[in-house]
Structure 1
Amino acid sequence: MNTVSYLQLGLERIAIVISILLCLWITGVLLTHFQLIALIMNPYGITLMYFVLYLSALLIPQLLTQLGLWVLSAFKGIDYKIHFSPKLIAIISTIIIGLALSSLLIIMSSGWLYGFTESIATTILLIDLLIATGIAFYLHRRIRHWISVRLNHQP
């Protein structure tokens, strides 16, 4: 492997760690400053806002990594094509599918959460999130295999 390949692998791993830390930070903000009544009153706006925040936390570090590799390769005089590994695409798409499913389940269940106490409503929302996470993990291998076949890589 050449230096650019090692650099790409290292920077992609750093970007994944940064993405995970950003997602954990957003989750921390969500858990500490989130009011359940706001979700019940405006489920579409709240879930869409957090979906966009999570999506940007996942994609921006990866795109900045590819841009940085492109710039570094230009300084070294190497022709570099922007390339995403199938594993990385599968991880990001699985997380996005899990977030989308979570948003849909939250939006669907928020309509009938009016009569419950806040603790029961929170439990219902956590069950929704667990269901969506389970479906996303189930789909991860299928997505990774499909992307690998499409990109002619080994799974």
Structure 2
Amino acid sequence: MRIALLFALMAVTTGPALAQDAHAVPGEEPVDPYVVSDANAGATPFEGQAMWAAFNEGEGVGRIVDQMLDLSAADPRTAGIFVATDMVRLRRTLREQFCYILNGGCRYTGRSMADAHDEIGLQPADFGALVEHLQTAMTAEGVPFRTQNRFLAKLAPMRPDTVTR
């Protein structure tokens, strides 16, 4: 009981840095403190559960994120982007972001799109290839084409915050 109280007090007194560390999974590299907010996800969630169901809920989103990142890391056009990337953290935060946007009941604990992509130097061609990999992963998961387009339309306004060169 005393240990639980001590951790609760630490969470209240240490602020946002502990809040994001609490969501880290084994193998994640530490990051500089930032304000944790669903607004950082870059889009508002869809209404209702239809989109979440179309993506096969949490397991489907996990498979989509994993396949998209595996394809991106293996593709010579985009592999260099991921060389110095904390893939454990990226997988977790992308799953959170997609779950949040699809209204799956998740909170997004990652950084804002501008902050997360600030030093990556993505170019328009990189962005296009990443979208291609996402589409391939969604198709493999059985997400209908029209539903894919609705999701991509939610992500598209993030392009100016992610493509920096």
TM-score norm. by structure 1 comes to: 0.28
TM-score norm. by structure 2 comes to: 0.27
